[in-house]
Amino acid sequence: MSLSKIAACISLVLLILAGVFLINIRTDLDLLKQYDFDTKEQNTSFAADLRTGLLLIGTGQNNLLAYNSDGEILWKYSAGGIFKEILISETSGEIYAGNEDRNIYVLDSENGKLLRTIPIRGKFYDMDLDRENGLLIVSSGISAVKHYISLIDREGNSLWEKNIEITSRGAAIFQEKIIYGTDRGELILIDLSGRELKKLKLDGQVMDLIINDEGEIACLTDRGSLYFTNLNLEQSGGVQVRGNAESFSVLWDQSKVFIGMKNGSLHILEKSGKILDTINFPLAISRVYVDEQSVTVTCRDGFLYTMDNSDINDIPKNKVKMGIAVSLAVLASIVLIITLFFIFPAITALFSRFFGTLYQHRTAYLMLLPIFVLLIFFHYYPVMIAIIRSFTDWSVHKDTINFNGLDNFRLMLDEGYFLAGLKNLGILSGMAFLKLFTMPLLAAKLVFHMRERFKGSFRLLFVLPMVVPGVVVAMVWQNIYDPNVGLLNNFLEILNLEQLQQVWLGNEKTAIWSIIFMGFPFVDAFAFLVYYGGLINISPELFEASNLDGANGWWNFWKIQIPLITPQIKMLIILVFVGIIQDFAPILILTGGGPGISTYVPGLELYYNVTRFGRFGYASALGLVMFIFIFAGTLLNLRIKTSSANEL
Amino acid sequence: MADAEVIQGSEKTELKQILNYRRFSTIWKKNRGQAVLLVIAGILLFLCFIPMILMIILSLKTTVQIYGNFWSMPSPIAWSNYAKAFNLLLGNMFNSTLLVLIAMGLTVFLSAMGGYVFSWLEFPGKKVLFIMILSLMMVPGILTLTPRYKLIVDLYLKDTWWALILPWVSGGQVFGILLCRTFMAELPASLFEAARIDGATEWQGFVKISVPLARPILTTVGIMQIIAFYNDFIWPLMVIDTNSKQVITVAIRVFQSVTGSNDIGSMIAGFVFTTLPLVVVFIFGSRYYIEGITSGAIKT
């Protein structure tokens, strides 16, 4: 006993030591200093003047704020749009600030006075300043096909501009060479006169690009690939991170790369591609800025996060130290727990009983483990999220998720798409039931009454159309409805019924009925088999008895067969109901909900909200409502089943 | 026939005619019902097969032939349609086949395992865990579509095959476990007891007894899953962006919009090509599928 007490004491001391050690290691967030001022706005761009210690922050609230290194605000300049890029000209002490209001403002760094305004064509995207000759290259655009690269001299006169007909988010100038990247994933080199010299194809949209003093180019794409090339666009290296990259910077003399992501992660990498560290910020990173002294990061909040360049080399060392401390702590905790068991026998008994049970039935639990791991990830967790987030404004366009009560459900009633979809869903499900109760049952009855030698082959033939995939069925029917080469219009033509010819899927009146008519003559293989299975499982003696009583086939059908296949009918009703609410794929293929919203269904509305609009909260709410419909329908169906069973 | 021998000459032939007529009419009377049944069933079948017949005919015609005379038979037969469809869709067909087989194998394995555990093993929490699985039958895919899509994006699985395999298997196993459990529970208990007495472990009971005996239901589960996975359209459309990674059902849609009305023959040949794997499955597996459904194993 005393031995275990000593062990417990020693491990406790070790644990405390490890804790102290851990606290003393500078963790990622300690490496990061946060300036103790808050712009209370969304920071979008940043630049620092090392000589004067001036910090310039552009914000989403259309302000350009200047702070000194103590965090005191010096001056503020407001414009009509977001400041996207700030450059400081060390030679002249001028600040160039590109703004989305179609202007570049040149300000005096001393007092923030406007020196001059350079108007540009279209929305500002990016610019770069050749500090030797004062030439400014600007990328700006009006639309995806009207985008201009312009060269502007020191006085603000445009030397030339060139419509490159594709958005460019990054442009740079160095020693009479201009480089810009496009949304088509090209890096293009032009000379000072605007003549294209060379082109390099990259893997995705170019998000940003920079050139260092030695003429090395670094270029980031939205796929998270960073390319290094020389001035002739010959690739010299590259790194890759996962996710959507937003901004990056390179610390050339230390060969370190910093990539800021839209999800708020800052990746610190070696130029060789090895990831040294990842720091997670609460919000999307808007800008990563590197100068000779420090790395500065702005997120979409009001703070500035900064890191001394000298500390960056400590990151790997810190990782090792951290590893030692953590393993020490883990070891000490294990020893402590074991000794505690010896000291307190009651805990030991409890634990041994729990683990004993687990161990005794280990086969069962181990076999269930993969099943439940999958279910937790892809079923239980999504169900939980779907229900909770139905009441939030969850969306791709926002970094935070806030509860908004019943807004999503109110939106369903207000927007009208859902209600229009519901009306169509009513028509579709009514017709689906009508189809279900007639044709497959008729086919099953026909095969059921056939002689033994025909049964097998006819049964097989009725099931055979099942081999055509649903997508192909939908597309073949799309072809059948084709106004020019479709079977339907051609058939009407040989019947001399040209006046009935239609653009079946393009007409608001006929589109929904064309979707309903798809699959004619509606002998669904599955329903057919279920009906057939129900019929053959009825004991033949029942028919013999009723035939002796003088019953005819019709009576047998209504009074014996239908009641006895009720379970199958109920099951099919549930399946068809669940299926018609959920399966919007044929509609997506045939009409996409149109023309207008004449074939819209709620499932389609959900799909569009997830994939096109990114309104996840609203889509979850739609899913929840559809789930409630399905649930209510199923319960109702089960209730009817029990009551009719009682009557029998 | 004894009467017939006495009668002579022309009367004989007359009688023969009468007898023939009688024989015919009795055959007719006896088979009238069947004939009507067969005719109706035949018409119904013909209507069912119109899209398939149309598909095969159009796939062998050139665009000029289709626009020229819609009702003409393909002549000369345009095999080049198939060559074009084959060339453009082969990679996607490979993806589909591979993915469906992997997902099907995993689903059948997990279903068999779950079915065995819930039918033959006793352990604390069995009831709760089983109800948890059973309750998933009430959860429609549409409810979980949004969070599952976001999960795939957040896990960086978007545009990878994991985004298809994992959710497919997870969803497929639920129904599979329930089917397998019902089937396996009906296996004779004496088999498992004998094995246990002989010193077999629970795992051996699963591998050596349950799986071989449950082969029919496992085949049924496998075939149902192949059909379900192969037909999936919306989910691959959402989570796979790169066309070279895409499954055939989505790729054929892309192929359709590319060829469009310029090359209807090739487009339809692509439809036929997309159908072929399920034809193969049908040839080998229709028996299991039909028996699985008609035997009443599937009831709510």
pLDDT, tens digit, 9 for 90 and up, residues A417-447: 889 899 999 999 999 999 999 999 999 989 9
Interface test with B, best of A275, A355, A357, A367 (most B CBs within 10 A): A367
Peptide bond preceding B76 in cis form (omega within 30 of 0): yes
Confidence of residue B249 (pLDDT cuts 50, 70, 90): very high
| Subunit contact A479:B147, Cβ cutoff 8 A | no
pLDDT of residue B195: 87
Q: Exposed (0-12), middle (13-18) or buried (19+): which is A204, by Cβ within 10 Å? A: middle
Rounded to an integer, the average pLDDT of A380-405 is: 85
First to last CA, chain B: 60
Residue B51: predicted pLDDT: 92
Q: Is the predicted pLDDT of residue A644 greater than 50, yes or no?
A: no
Distance CA A582, CA A576 (A): 10
B27, B139, B142, B158, best to mutate vs chain A, most A CBs in 10 Å: B142
Torsion angle in degrees (nearest 10) through CA of B25, B28, B30, B31: 170
Distance between A379 CA and the closest CA of chain B, angstroms: 7
pLDDT of B96 higher than 90: yes
**Same domain flag for B45 and B106:** no
The reply to whether residue A532 touches residue B71, judged by beta carbons under 8 angstroms, is: no
Complex prediction ipTM? 0.86
Cα–Cα distance list, A218 to A125, A208, A215, A228, B109 (Å):
18, 9, 10, 5, 49
C-beta of residue A161 within 8 angstroms of C-beta of residue A150:
yes
Are A74 and A81 spatial neighbours (Cβ–Cβ below 8 Å)? Answer: no
**Is residue A2 scored above 80 in pLDDT?**
no
Mean model confidence pLDDT for chain A? 85
CATH code at position B181: 1.10.3720.10
In angstroms, the CA A277 to CA A266 distance is 8
C-alpha closest to that of A329 among A16, A645, A609: A16
Integer Cα distance of A385 and B168 in angstroms: 19
The chain B residue lying nearest A494, using CA atoms, is B71
Pick the range with the lowest mean pLDDT from A195-199, A365-369, B101-105, B106-110. Answer: A195-199
In eight-state DSSP terms, residue B213 is H
- pLDDT at residue B145 is higher than 80: yes
Tokens of A115: 């020196």
Distance (Å) from the alpha carbon of B91 to chain A's nearest alpha carbon: 18
Reply yes or no on whether the pLDDT at A647 is more than 70.
no
Element at B65 (helix H, strand E): helix B63-68
DSSP, residue by residue, A37-53:
---SS-EEEEEEETTTT
Residue A593, both tokens: 């909900």
User: Which has more confidence, A502 or A432?
Assistant: A432
**How many structural domains compose chain B?**
2
Q: What is the mean pLDDT of residues B280-300?
A: 77
Residue A60 CA to residue A44 CA, distance in Å, equals 6
Residue B75 lies in a domain: no
pLDDT of residue A643: 46
Q: Where are the alpha helices (DSSP H) in B121-233?
A: 126-135, 141-154, 162-185, 189-197, 202-204, 211-213, 215-231
Q: Which of B156, B294, B299 to mutate to test the interface with A (most CBs of A within 10 A)?
A: B294
* Domain of residue B259, residue span: 80-294
**B147 inside domain:** yes
Sort residue A49 into left (φ over 0), alpha (ψ -120 to 50) or beta: beta
Shared domain for B102 and B28, answered yes or no, is no
Which range in A266-280, A388-402, A525-539 is most confidently predicted, on average pLDDT? A525-539
Cis omega (within 30 of 0) on the bond before A595?
yes
Interface touch A603/B278, C-beta < 8 Å: no
Residue A42 has pLDDT above 90, yes or no: no
In a domain, B65, yes or no: no
pLDDT band at A646, cuts 50/70/90?
Answer: very low
Average pLDDT over residues A296-319: 79
A62: alpha, beta or left? (left if phi > 0; alpha if psi -120 to 50): left
Buried b (16+ CB within 10 A) or exposed e, A186-202: bbbbbebeeeeeeebeb
Chain B window 164-193: which residues touch A at a Cβ cutoff of 8 Å? 166-167, 169-171, 173-174, 177
**Would B64 be classed as within a structural domain?**
no
Per the model's pLDDT, the better-predicted residue between A194 and B235 turns out to be B235
Beta strands in A300-419 (DSSP E): 304-308
pLDDT, residue A28, reads 55
The residues in B 77-116 lying below 8 A from A, measured between CB atoms, are 110, 113-114, 116
A206-211, strands of its sheet edge to edge: A206-211, A217-221, A225-229, A235-240
Any idea what DSSP says for residue A539?
A: -
- Are A290 and A306 contacting, i.e. CB atoms less than 8 angstroms apart? no
Higher-scoring residue by pLDDT: A282, A241: A241
- Summarised one tens digit per residue, pLDDT across range A150-160 is 988 888 888 88
Domain assignment present for B213: yes
CA dist B241 and B246 (Å) reads: 7
Residue A529 has pLDDT above 70, yes or no: yes
* Rounded-to-integer distance, Cα A105 and Cα A108, Å: 10
pLDDT of residue A26: 57
Q: Write out pLDDT tens, residues B218-248.
A: 998 999 899 999 999 999 999 988 888 899 9
DSSP A403: B
B133 contacts in chain A (CB < 8 Å)? 371, 375
The reply to whether residue A627 touches residue B50, judged by beta carbons under 8 angstroms, is: no
Contact B41 A446 (CB under 8 A): yes
Q: Are residues B130 and B260 in the same domain?
A: yes
Q: Chain B window 112-141: which residues touch A at a Cβ cutoff of 8 Å?
A: 113-114, 116-117, 121-124, 126, 129, 132-133, 136, 138-141
Instruction: Give start and end residues of each alpha helix (H) in A196-344.
Output: 309-312, 314-343
Question: Residues A222-254: pLDDT tens digits?
Answer: 878 888 888 888 888 888 887 778 888 888 888
Q: Residue B190 falls within a domain, yes or no?
A: yes
Distance of CA A495 to the CA centre of its chain: 52
pLDDT: which is higher, B300 or B80: B80
Give the pLDDT mean for B68-72.
84
Q: Where is average pLDDT lowest: A200-204, A409-413, A499-503, A547-551? A: A547-551
**Residue B6 — pLDDT band, cuts 50, 70, 90?**
low
One domain for residues B28 and B121: no
Domain shared by B38 and B88, yes or no: no
Do B53 and B172 belong together in one domain? no
Q: Which range (A388-402, A471-485, A590-604) has the least confidence?
A: A388-402
Per-residue pLDDT, A648: 38
Task: Name the closest residue on chain B to residue A615, using Cα atoms.
Answer: B146
pLDDT at B77 over 70: yes
Dist CA A116 CA A145 (whole Å): 29
Residue B73 lies in a domain: no
Q: Is there a contact between A579 and A629 (Cβ–Cβ < 8 Å)?
A: no
Q: How far apart are CA A469 and CA B233, in angstroms?
A: 10
pLDDT at position A378 is 93
Mean pLDDT, residues B127-143? 90
Structure tokens at B165: 């395999």
Predicted local distance difference test score (pLDDT) of residue A194: 82
Give the residue on B whose Cα is nearest the Cα of A577: B140
* Same domain, residue pair B13 and B143: no
Tokens of A561: 């067969």
The distance of B21 to chain A (nearest Cα, Å) reads 24
Domains belonging to chain A, first-starting first, are 1-35+246-343 (2.40.10.480), 41-245 (2.130.10.10), 411-599 (1.10.3720.10)
B277 and B148 in a common domain? yes
Are residue B141 and residue B259 in the same domain, yes or no? yes
Confidence label for B300 from pLDDT (cuts 50, 70 and 90): very low
Other beta carbons within 10 angstroms of residue B198's beta carbon come to 8
- Residue keyed to tokens 């806030």: A402
Q: Which of B139, B146, B282 sits opposite A620 (nearest CB)?
A: B146
Tokens representing A27? 């963790």
B25 plus B114 within the same structural domain: no
What backbone phi and psi angles, to 5 degrees, belong to A137?
A: -110, 130
With contacts defined as CB-CB under 8 Å, which chain A residues touch B234?
Answer: 584-585, 588, 607
Q: How far off is chain A from B227, nearest CA to CA, in Å?
A: 8
Of A367, A470, A476, the CB nearest to B117: A367
What digits encode the pLDDT tens for the residues A505-520?
888 888 999 999 998 8
Q: Is the pLDDT of residue B9 over 70?
A: no
pLDDT reading at A144 higher than 80: no
Residues of A in contact with B143 (CB under 8 A): 382-383, 386, 623-624, 626-627
What pLDDT band is residue A645 in, cutting at 50, 70 and 90? very low
B156-160 contacts at long range (C-beta below 8 A, 24 or more positions apart): B156/A242, B156/A243, B157/B239, B158/B239, B158/B241, B159/B239, B159/B240, B159/B241, B159/B242, B159/B245, B160/B245
B168 and B205 inside one domain = yes
Instruction: Looking at the structure, tell me whether residues B149 and B191 fall in a common domain.
Output: yes
Does B71 fall in a domain? no
